[in-house]
Structure 1
Amino acid sequence: MRHHPDALMIFAAGFGTRMGPLTADRPKPMVEVAGKPLIDHARAIAEDAGIGRIVANLHYKPEPLIEHLNGTGILLSHERDTLLDTGGGLREALPLLGPGPVFTLNSDAVWTGANPLGELRSAWNPDRMDALLLLLDPNDARGHPGAGDFTLSDGQLNRGPGYVYSGAQIIKTESLHDVAETVFSLNLIWDRMIAAGRLSGIVHQGEWCDVGHPQGIAEAEALLDYERDV
């Protein structure tokens, strides 16, 4: 079993309800930002980081995404009957991802600065971590209201206001098999890791924009334009 990740799960199965009419006829990863679908922004990050195996899960209106990804080499995990949430979806995709820790990346964000998967890879220490989450200072998290998701102390995470979870991580997958439910969130796994002192975090060197809602499109495009201009 490998101890360092070389496989990536892109979460792309959600309903995209916050997008309103923009997802009436397509899944959220096919919504365009700066002239290309969100799924292509995620693919570019993965390719730049040299990820060897990429899997995307599908559920809501999957046909446009299937057609778009045809020929890219991305493997597809079909959640045909039930949306399995992040934990259940990741477990369902394990036969495609292979054994050992994996990267995961939400498909509804854009990034500037350092490659997020590269940052995680450089900081990953499987001897003392069961998961490593990439976080943001709230000032660098556009389109994301609220006081943050985690506190960070000496590299260890706890629940509470402070840093925003970016949607990128490395996680060991063995504990997914300990959950009896079919549909479950990775929050359940993270809470168990927190209790064991095994959930770690680092802060992204750059900015990020949540594109889970229509207003996030303009904010994301403004962020990308700003990066090109500086």
Structure 2
Amino acid sequence: MQAVVLAAGRGTRMRPLSAERPKPMLPVDDRPLAAHAADAAVSAGVDELVFVVGYEPETLTEYFGETYRGVPVEYAEQASTDGTADAVASAAHHIDGQFLVLNGDSIYDDDSVADLVEAGPSLGVYEVDDASNYGVVTLADGAVESIVEKPDDPPSSHVNAGVYVFPAAASDWLSVPESERGERELTDVLATTIERTDVTPVELDEWLDVGRPWELLEANERRIGRSGRRLDGDVSDDARIEGDVVVEAGATVADGVVIEGPARIRSGATLGPNAYVRGSTLIGRDATVGHAVEVKNSLLMAGASVEHLSYIGDSVLGRDVNVGAGMTVANLRHDEEPVRVDVKGESVSTGRRKFGVVVGDRAKTGIDTNLNAGVKLSTGATTAPGETVVTDR
């Protein structure tokens, strides 16, 4: 069985983090987001991976190559951006028989994907408190009865988790008419499948659609710590390491550092002296956390540098960000309401009482900068020394 991994989107809701690379290649624990989807497919026994690529495809092809975990890899370029059905249609010439489809920007648990493959034709469903923002699935007699996109009055609490096993014939049904949104959607292919065969619902134990920066933070919260404790790097005898912490070979943890897991310190990263890191935190490859810096529940991507006397909390810092000495991030509103972030011009609740900032690749902050909760700095942005930033730039 082939697995088609959808990884062609531009990820505009994830900006600025996806400004220069596909959202599925953003880091979650020790590998890109798309690799978690691919790992679930490989664990389920697929014999070929087909990545549908579009935006900045070379970052995917360089990472996955021609073989991933012993499974052959092919690539299909999505010719248009007219929806998920068009994305899968781009890979149709690779499909031979029943096929699995996964979103490359979602987190699934391996066992549920394996159950999905065994039950095919099948659809992964997940139960949520508020289904109005999803495709809502109704079930009858152990089969999928229907799916409705974002209804005002959801008929069910089960939603479409964007992972499917389609019958071989579905590859001929991919040229569906455009939806009301002007796109050709896999849900319409699913509707055709339901008309012609039984589709088994498989309730997923874990699912997270990673579309916005705080969801990337949540994905790391879920995954960091699952590798247990391993200290392969150069760790000072004067450092204190507590809990599930991985210090990869090639990383350095200097005198006086305290790490409270779960946390992962990637190869080439340097911590300390006297830094304080607490979970769930990912310190990316070649990143630096310097003297008297505190990093709490954050993601620092490759090459990010926080050298001196700064606080980073519940935040996401892109690649090669440089933080000036004494920078402080606010991560809590005075009224303790959920922090809000601007997404595509709309103020959106993160649903999180604590959330800090999102800093794009290569941004630089002046010394003693203060960043308000929910602020985003775009790729290459700068701040002046002593500046307090309360709006995006």
TM-score by length of 2: 0.49
Counterpart of 1:108 in structure 2 is: 105
Q: How does 1:77-226 map to 2 (within 5 A)?
A: 77-79=76-78, 81-97=79-95, 99-112=96-109, 114-124=110-120, 131-138=121-128, 146=133, 149-157=136-144, 158-159=146-147, 160-178=155-173, 179=175, 184-196=184-196, 198-204=198-204, 206-225=205-224
Q: Structure 2 vs 1, CA of residues 71 and 174 (structure 1 numbering), >3 Å: closer, same or farther?
A: closer
Does residue 1:17 correspond to 2:12, yes or no?
yes
Which has the higher relative contact order, 1 or 2, with Cα contacts under 8 A spaced 6 or more apart?
1
1:60 CA drift (Å): 1.2
Contact 2:176 2:184 in 1 (8 A): no
Cα distance per residue 1:152-172 (max 9 Å; x no partner): 222222234321222211002
* Higher relative strand content: 2
Q: Structure 2 vs 1, CA of residues 203 and 83 (structure 1 numbering), >3 Å: closer, same or farther?
A: same
CA distance in 1: counterparts of 2:82 and 2:30, whole angstroms: 30
TM-score by length of 1: 0.80
Correspondence for 2:33 among 23, 38, 45: 38
* Higher relative helix content: 1
1:192 CA drift (Å): 2.6
CA distance in 1: counterparts of 2:51 and 2:188, whole angstroms: 21
Q: How does 1:67-78 map to 2 (within 5 A)?
A: 67-72=62-67, 73-78=72-77
How large is the RMSD of aligned CA atoms in angstroms?
Answer: 2.7
**Identity, % of aligned pairs?**
27
Correspondence for 2:21 among 9, 17, 26: 26
Q: Structure 2 vs 1, CA of residues 224 and 193 (structure 1 numbering), >3 Å: closer, same or farther?
A: same
1:196 CA drift (Å): 4.8
Contact 2:37 2:102 in 1 (8 A): yes
Contact 1:116 1:168 in 2 (8 A): no
CA distance in 1: counterparts of 2:63 and 2:34, whole angstroms: 9
* Structure 2 SS opposite 1:54: strand
CA distance in 1: counterparts of 2:40 and 2:170, whole angstroms: 27
Unaligned runs of at least 5 residues, structure 2: 148-154, 229-243, 245-393
